[in-house]
């Protein structure tokens, strides 16, 4: 199996294996724009530099993303409910994703999605259904929603429907 097939083979997870948080998150409705970031990238502390100041409950959010088991004594003294950590994990994953798609592996995944027309096509007639790319208008969280860029007409469009509320960081 080559890298592209392996990267995009969703049948590789069997029902006996629990689904990872990253696969679960990327499979949610409106999260198809996200790539699945490699655990090795996330576990490299250099790639996470500065994120601890931007994300509340950083440690717990990182542990949730990486599906790390917590020790019993730690669990009793920290946050007991995953639903409290979940929004912070989503924020952290978005910031990690923002960095990941600038790597060779991330660009490869984005290219695959672009070539597949995953992000939609330009609505302009003379662009002849040119595939579009998601773009953010800032690098900080919650500045604005994701937009779509057409490389042919060089225009930026608002997303419709389920993608309208995806953060454009």
How far apart CA 169 and CA 140 sit, in angstroms, is 6
Mean pLDDT for 113-134 is 93
- DSSP alpha helices (H): ranges in the chain? 3-8, 21-27, 39-43, 58-65, 72-77, 82-100, 104-115
pLDDT tens-digit map of 70-97: 554 444 455 557 888 999 999 999 999 9
Q: Which residue has the tokens 């994701």?
A: 146
For position 126, what pLDDT does the model report?
Answer: 95
- Residue 108 binned pLDDT confidence (cut-offs 50, 70, 90): very high
- The pTM assigned to this predicted structure is 0.78
pLDDT tens-digit map of 2-14: 444 444 444 444 4
Report which of 101, 93, 100 is spatially closest to residue 25, judged by C-alpha positions. 93
For position 44, what pLDDT does the model report?
Answer: 94
Long-range contacts of 56-64 (CB under 8 A, 24+ apart): 56/88, 57/84, 57/85, 57/88, 58/88, 58/92, 60/85, 60/88, 60/89, 61/85, 61/88, 61/89, 61/91, 61/92, 62/89, 62/92, 64/21, 64/89
Specify the 3-state DSSP secondary structure of 149.
Answer: strand
Lowest average pLDDT, out of 10-19, 32-41, 98-107, 112-121, goes to 10-19
How far apart CA 141 and CA 96 sit, in angstroms, is 12
% the chain with pLDDT above 90: 54
Superfamily of domain 18-106: protein kinase ck2 holoenzyme, chain C, domain 1 (1.10.1820.10)
Phi, psi of 147, rounded to the nearest 5 degrees: -120, 170
Domain boundaries of the chain, sorted by first residue:
18-106, 119-169
Choose which CATH entry (2.60.40.1120, 3.90.1150.140, 3.20.20.70, 2.20.25.20) describes domain 119-169.
2.20.25.20
pLDDT tens-digit map of 36-76: 999 999 999 999 999 999 999 999 999 999 988 655 444 44
Ranges 10-14, 27-31, 103-107, 140-144, most confident = 103-107
């Amino acid at each position: 199996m080559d890298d592209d097939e392996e990267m995009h083979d969703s049948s590789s997870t069997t029902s006996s294996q629990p689904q990872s948080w990253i696969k679960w998150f990327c499979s949610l409705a409106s999260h198809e724009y996200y790539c699945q970031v490699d655990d090795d990238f996330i576990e490299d502390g250099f790639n996470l530099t500065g994120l601890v100041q931007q994300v509340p409950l950083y440690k717990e959010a990182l542990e949730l993303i990486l599906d790390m088991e917590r020790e019993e004594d730690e669990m009793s003294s920290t946050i007991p409910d995953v639903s409290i950590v979940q929004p912070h994990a989503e924020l952290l994953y978005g910031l990690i994703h923002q960095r990941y798609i600038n790597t060779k592996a991330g660009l490869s995944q984005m290219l695959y999605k672009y070539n597949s027309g995953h992000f939609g096509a330009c609505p302009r007639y003379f662009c002849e259904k040119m595939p579009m790319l998601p773009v953010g208008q800032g690098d900080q969280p919650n500045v604005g929603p994701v937009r779509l860029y057409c490389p042919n007409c060089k225009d930026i469009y608002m997303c419709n429907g389920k993608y309208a509320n995806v953060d454009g960081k």
